[in-house]
Chains A and B, each alone.
Chain A
């Protein structure tokens, strides 16, 4: 069964010229599109143009979307294509050290074991609570990640694309995707760890 607010259902309505379906899709994805666009172009104004262009591409190209990939994958691929053909900052590389550890080396003793116990997050700390309480910190931490890490985490964990789709959208290798995801998620965990520790004091 197709849920009425699924992308699929909205696309069917969009094909029939339904403006409100379009606006629901825009509210759903515009924020993420802007974030990803921002990592490809030099400023917010250009990012907004690229995103607008992407939505025009959606409205005009909807008849040709055959659903071989998910709508999201298609959408982000249009975005990245538009961003790249806008010709700016294509080869910007993140300056992050690929050997940077997931957890700071000083947390471990000479044998490689944890120097201090890891405080388990209390059993009442579930992801809903974290998202509700620390959402703004988490969002800020996500925005603060090196660009490619942010793109990968945004597409994988916020948008829920699979790893193959992310590789396709961003034009990166499976191995690269893994490293970027690992670094990005590790960084977010460490931010939350600090936030929760601060709460406990």
Chain B
């Protein structure tokens, strides 16, 4: 049986578009309340939100590939060349700290 929608109720299709703003803390208070009210009644969207959380955390666990030994040698060379001013002592502006 379908529950009666209040005019301000969100449907699942809308909720998935708001999940990221919710996680970012970018929803207005009113929208956050509507969002959370929907979640309390909807196991599907609750599962969806959890999937997004796991996705974001798993992405945070990706690490860059290790440097190949060749790349390591190149960067060692680069460091030795440039540390202490480099081959020319010209000022290198433009990257403000």
Contacts and interface: CB of A to CB of B under 8 A. Distances in A.
Contacts of A113: 11-13, 44
Contact of B51 (A23, A160, A189): A189
Given A102-B16, A186-B16, A192-B51, A60 B85 contact: yes
Q: Which of B17, B80, B96 has the most CB of A within 10 A?
A: B96
Given A102-B17, A111-B2, A157 B56 contact: yes
Contact of A59 (B13, B19, B45, B79): B79
B75 A26 contact: yes
Interface residues of B, number: 51
Interface residues of A, number: 66
Interface string A1-45: 000000000000000010100110011111110000000000000
A116 to B, nearest CB: 9
A64 B64 contact: no
B75 A130 contact: no
Contact of A118 (B44, B65, B80): B44
Contact of B54 (A26, A29, A121): A121
Interface string B66-97: 11000110011011101111100000101111
A188 B54 CA distance: 11
A158 interface: yes
Interface of B: 2, 5, 11-14, 16-17, 19-21, 24, 26, 43-45, 47-48, 50-52, 54-62, 64-67, 71-72, 75-76, 78-80, 82-86, 92, 94-97
